[in-house]
Structure 1
Amino acid sequence: MLLDIAQSLLVVVDVQERLLPAMSAPGAVRAQLAILTRGASILGAPVLASEQYPRGIGPTVEDLRPHIPAKDIIEKNSFSCLACAPFVERLGAFDRTQVVLSGIEAHVCVLQTALDLRARDVEVFVVADATGSRTARNHRLGIARMRQAGCRIVSVEMVLFEWLRTSASEKFKQISALIK
């Protein structure tokens, strides 16, 4: 099953200023998330983000914020985004059947969100290179468990080119420039 931009929503989980530096490869995760959110913006895919206890962990990292409407950054305290009523309400407003899931940590908040989405029969595409954990081992385990739960594991480039569908698109050059 291909990603369909008309049915997709990008979800960015807890990529926050004081949390991201603790990940095992923070620079790589941040770079891939920047490409993914910029690409979503160029192609018109909606983006919804969560912030875990932002008073303590800080806001979403600065370079992602321009690509996420302020009303679509939802504060939460639960690990799963779907245990947060305002997040669920906003998610439902988009009326999408596919969630492209990214963020941190892969084995905690991303995992629990993915499992809850799957329980609601949502197609979940986990962007492996745009997720992170404090250790590489936990990242691998989180990705493996999400795969076992029926999530599709993808990369940033896979998402962008499936959304794009053709090099004849007027947006092709902009997307290609992002990944070079």
Structure 2
Amino acid sequence: MLMRAKDSTLLVIDLQERLLPAIDGGAAVIEQASWLVRVAQRLQVPVIATEQYPKGLGYTEASLHELLPGEGLREKIHFSATAGAGLFDLPGGERQQFIVCGTETHVCVLQTVLGLLTAGREVFVVDEAVGSRRPRDKALGLARMEGAGAVIVSREMVAFEWLERAGTELFREISRGFIR
């Protein structure tokens, strides 16, 4: 199955200021997630972001927060963004495909992905845009998600599948601004 821009929502999970310093490669995860958000916005793919207990973990990292639409930000207390009310009611929540990035891979990302799969959604997890405190936990989380039916992808796989074809002005713009 291909990722299609018209069917996709980008879901950014818990990339919060107090948690990120503890994440292995946290700065790179923010960089990759920001790249995905910018590409999604250029291709008119809705973006939803979550914050896990922001009183304790802080708010979304500032440079990423600047990119996010206010109506797509959701606070949560459950580890899964699908628990409780609200995720599917946000703009983009009705779409069939969810492209997922964020932290921690083996906790909130994993539980959200399992919830999305249970809800019948197609789920794609962007390998370089998820992170955990320990690399082994990230690897185990990715393996478990893949075993449950999620597809593990790279950011460029997302961009090229959303674009569908070369030779358009949009392709040239994304290629110049994001791929090179």
Structure 2: 5+ residue stretches without partners: none
SS state at 1:130 partner: strand
* Equivalent residue, structure 1, for 2:53: 53
Measured in 2, the distance between the counterparts of 1:57 and 1:136 equals 21
Secondary structure of 2:152's match? strand
Shift of 1:173: 3.0
TM-score by length of 2: 0.94
2: distance between equivalents of 1:166 and 1:79? 37
The corresponding residue for 2:157 is 158
Report the Cα offset of residue 68 of structure 1.
Answer: 1.7
Match of 2:169 in 1: 170
Answer whether contact 2:24 2:135 (CA < 8 A) is retained.
yes
Task: Look up the SS of the partner of 1:68 in the other structure.
Answer: coil
Determine what percentage of the aligned residue pairs are the same residue: 46
1:3 is matched with 3
Give the distance between the partners of 1:35 and 1:103, measured in 2 at CA: 13
CA RMSD, Structure 1 to Structure 2 (Å): 1.3
Paired residue for 1:123? 122
Conserved? CA contact 1:9–1:46, under 8 Å: yes
In the alignment, which residue of structure 1 is the partner of 2:80? 80
1:63 is matched with 63
Please state if 1:101 is matched with 2:100: yes
Alignment of 1:141-156 (within 5 A): 141-156=140-155
Which residue of 1 is the match for residue 40 of structure 2? 40
Provide the C-alpha distance between the structure 1 equivalents of 2:68 and 2:84, rounded to a whole number of angstroms.
Answer: 19
For residues 127 and 118 of structure 2, what CA distance do their matches in structure 1 show? 20
CA distance in structure 1 between the aligned counterparts of 2:13 and 2:109, rounded to whole angstroms = 6
- Give the whole-Å Cα distance in 1 for the aligned partners of 2:147 and 2:104: 18
- Unaligned 5+ runs, structure 1: none
Runs (4+) off by over 4 Å: none
CA offsets 1:107-165 (integer angstroms, 9 cap, x no match)? 00000000011111110001111100001100000000000000011011110111011
How many residues end up aligned between the 2 structures?
Answer: 179
- CA shift, 1:34, in A, is 1.2
CA distance in 1, matches of 2:103, 2:179: 22
Residue 30 of structure 1 deviates from its aligned partner by 1.3
Partner amino acid, structure 1, of 2:174: I
